[in-house]
Amino acid sequence: MKKLFLFLVMVTCIAFPLRAQTINIDADKQVEWHRNEQKIIASGNAVATKNGSTLHGSTITAFYEKVQLEDGTQKTQLQKILSDGNVKLEMNKSTAFGEHFSYDLPTLQAKLTGNPAKIENDTGTLTATQSITYDAKALKSVALGEVIARNPDYTIYANKMVSYFDEDKKGQKTLNHVDIFGEKNPIKIVNKQAVVTGTRGTYFPSENKLKIYDNVVITQDENILKGDYAETDLKTGISRLLSTQQKGGRVSGVFHSKKKQ
């Protein structure tokens, strides 16, 4: 079984790498150089490529500034890139879709919006009706709105998902954990065995487990279990419902026997 949130690592796909290398921009209609405003605008099926990554959009705008070097010469440094309309970003074996994309070099922050914003690869999809952001300095990504994370085995519904990453000395990133929130509606985890709902949850990839907290309900067929928190083993698909005894919590259930046909 694939790890449930393995595909959430693909949110780093929206961090378009612009540092230290040339970016190539072209378009079907025109490419304009605004010297005074220090920007380049490509219109009509615009494409920006760099280091194996490709950004598409109806319009792509690149902002730059002149930097004075110690030897007295100047060089051009990109500061920000925007893509508007029919956005498509391909990199890291993932593809992102939306209506607006921005990447700011000084802050190393990327943001994708759409109706919804969507990232997909061969392990699943992540969609968010408000935005998907990635902060390379904080090693954190946030999906907001009506958020759906889906793979062949599980589907997660939430209002907010925050993914935290670790980075080794070589710059390789791994997923540390994911916090899941149901701010407007309960979070919901649907698999072939059951439906689990709760107020919030956390996914731990090292354990391959998803823990759901507060007002937890597990529904399987017509049977209902209620408790303080639950642990779902993503390898086996088995969920355990537990109580917080120090808070006086209890586990309760309603079971229905099926009539023989």
Provide the pLDDT for residue 243: 67
Greater confidence (261 vs 232) lies with 232
Say if residues 237 and 221 touch (Cβ distance below 8 Å).
no
Task: Please state, in angstroms and rounded to a whole number, the distance separating the CA atoms of residues 99 and 128.
Answer: 12
Provide the pLDDT for residue 253: 46
Backbone angles phi and psi of 62, in degrees to 5: -115, 125
Domain residues of the chain, as ranges? Answer: 6-185
Provide the pLDDT for residue 18: 60
Strand partners, 56: 47, 88
Provide the pLDDT for residue 70: 75
Mean pLDDT, range 44-60, rounded to an integer: 92
Amino acid present at 59:
T
**Burial classification of residue 261, based on how many CB atoms lie within 10 Å of its CB (0-12 exposed, 13-18 middle, 19 or more buried):** exposed
Task: Please state, in angstroms and rounded to a whole number, the distance separating the CA atoms of residues 158 and 182.
Answer: 5
Query: pLDDT per residue over 63-108, tens digit each?
Result: 988 777 777 787 778 899 999 999 999 987 889 999 999 999 889 9
User: How many CA atoms does the CB half-sphere of 23 hold within 13 Å?
Assistant: 25
Say if residues 212 and 242 touch (Cβ distance below 8 Å).
no
Radius of gyration of the chain measured on its C-alpha atoms:
23
Is domain 6-185 given the CATH code 3.30.200.20 in the classification?
Answer: no
Mean pLDDT, range 188-201, rounded to an integer: 89
Mean pLDDT, range 51-67, rounded to an integer: 90
Provide the pLDDT for residue 239: 76
pTM of the model: 0.85
Say if residues 145 and 131 touch (Cβ distance below 8 Å).
yes
Provide the pLDDT for residue 159: 96
Distances (CA, A) of 122 to 34, 199, 211, 257: 40, 29, 25, 40
Provide the pLDDT for residue 118: 96
Greater confidence (257 vs 137) lies with 137
Amino acid present at 110:
A
**Looking at 19-23, 85-89, 158-162, 203-207, which range is the least confident one?**
19-23
What confidence tier does 3 reach under pLDDT thresholds 50, 70, 90? very low
Task: Please state, in angstroms and rounded to a whole number, the distance separating the CA atoms of residues 7 and 120.
Answer: 8
User: Which residues, 6+ apart, have CB-to-CB distance to 212 below 8 Å?
Assistant: 187, 189, 196, 197, 198, 200, 201, 229, 230, 231, 232
Say if residues 180 and 186 touch (Cβ distance below 8 Å).
no
